[in-house]
Amino acid sequence: MKNNNWKKILKDPYLVAGGIITGLILLMIIVGFFWMPYEPTKMNAAEKLQGASLRHLMGTDNMGRDIFSRVMYGSRVTLMIAIGTIIIGAGVGTIIGAITGYYGGMLDEITMRVIDALFAFPSILLALVIVSVYGIGWVQLLVSLGIAFVPSFARIVRGEVLRCKNMDYVENARLQGVSDIRMIFVHILPNIKGVMASSILIGFNNAVLAEAGLSYLGVGSQPPYASLGRMLSDSQQYMTKSPSYVLGPGIIIVLMVLGFAFLGEGIRRWK
């Protein structure tokens, strides 16, 4: 049985490609915790803007720093912020969605109006508002992206809770005197994990793209620390002289998103 599943997974091109890409990116990030070819912030005036070579896999930047090491560090930051964003967004969103969906009434009406208004608001703008109020930096970025992702999760969870609320097994549990909190967390929420899984995959990709976009705009981690978006914005003026400076971080962002997108597509087709 287990063997069969593996065969089925290996037959699906999306799952295989997604698994390989995501695996490589994760490997790169994990290795980066223990070892990087160069110190990512170490400058070397003698080796500015070099092309890709064996010494520098992605070449060096305008300050002679090794791009590959910076990419390793930067993708770690991006991944962490994306994970943090999802934890905040999905966590807070689930609680809000579950409570408003379960209790309904006036509270639900008001919360959903606010959530709808926030949802209509592009998440990059919401993040910019928060960053502009609380200042620039990765903590602010994390919090603001997290908040920006709350509405979509709250809406999804609320919808699912509304759907499950009237099912027979919930009615049964209610007749047996199960408390509201236990009902929400033990009887209802575990049933929506399928929907949550796909929302989290999609949300993760959006978070990676949003983090990259905001750090490209210069409101993410500040120099000298590397971030993929920032590297791209720095590299732009050297794009003709040193294409590897642009392509290195850019392709890593694309692969990061693509890996998860392929996995998501594969999982969707699986069902």
Q: By CB under 8 A, is residue 213 in contact with another protein?
A: yes
As measured in angstroms, the least distance from the Cβ of 72 to another protein is 18
Cis peptide, bond prior to residue 190, ω within 30 of zero: no
Alpha carbons within 13 angstroms on the beta-carbon side of residue 198 total 12
As measured in angstroms, the least distance from the Cβ of 98 to another protein is 22
Pick the closer one to another protein by CB: 130 or 196: 130
Question: Binders of another protein: how many residues, by CB under 8 A?
Answer: 43
As measured in angstroms, the least distance from the Cβ of 147 to another protein is 11
Distance from C-alpha of 102 to C-alpha of 189, rounded to nearest angstrom? 11
Q: By CB under 8 A, is residue 159 in contact with another protein?
A: no
Q: By CB under 8 A, is residue 154 in contact with another protein?
A: no
As measured in angstroms, the least distance from the Cβ of 236 to another protein is 6
Report 78-137 residues binding another protein (CB under 8 A): 113-114, 116-118, 120-122, 124-125, 128-133, 136
Report 19-78 residues binding another protein (CB under 8 A): none
Which one of 77, 82, 112, 212 is in contact with another protein (CB under 8 A)? 212
Q: By CB under 8 A, is residue 250 in contact with another protein?
A: yes
- 190 class by beta-carbon count within 10 Å (0-12 exposed, 13-18 middle, 19+ buried): exposed
Q: By CB under 8 A, is residue 217 in contact with another protein?
A: yes
Q: By CB under 8 A, is residue 204 in contact with another protein?
A: no
As measured in angstroms, the least distance from the Cβ of 173 to another protein is 34
Pick the closer one to another protein by CB: 184 or 228: 228
Interacting residues toward another protein by CB under 8 A: 113-114, 116-118, 120-122, 124-125, 128-133, 136, 205, 209, 212-213, 216-219, 229, 232-233, 235-236, 239-240, 243, 246, 250, 253-255, 257-258, 261-262, 265
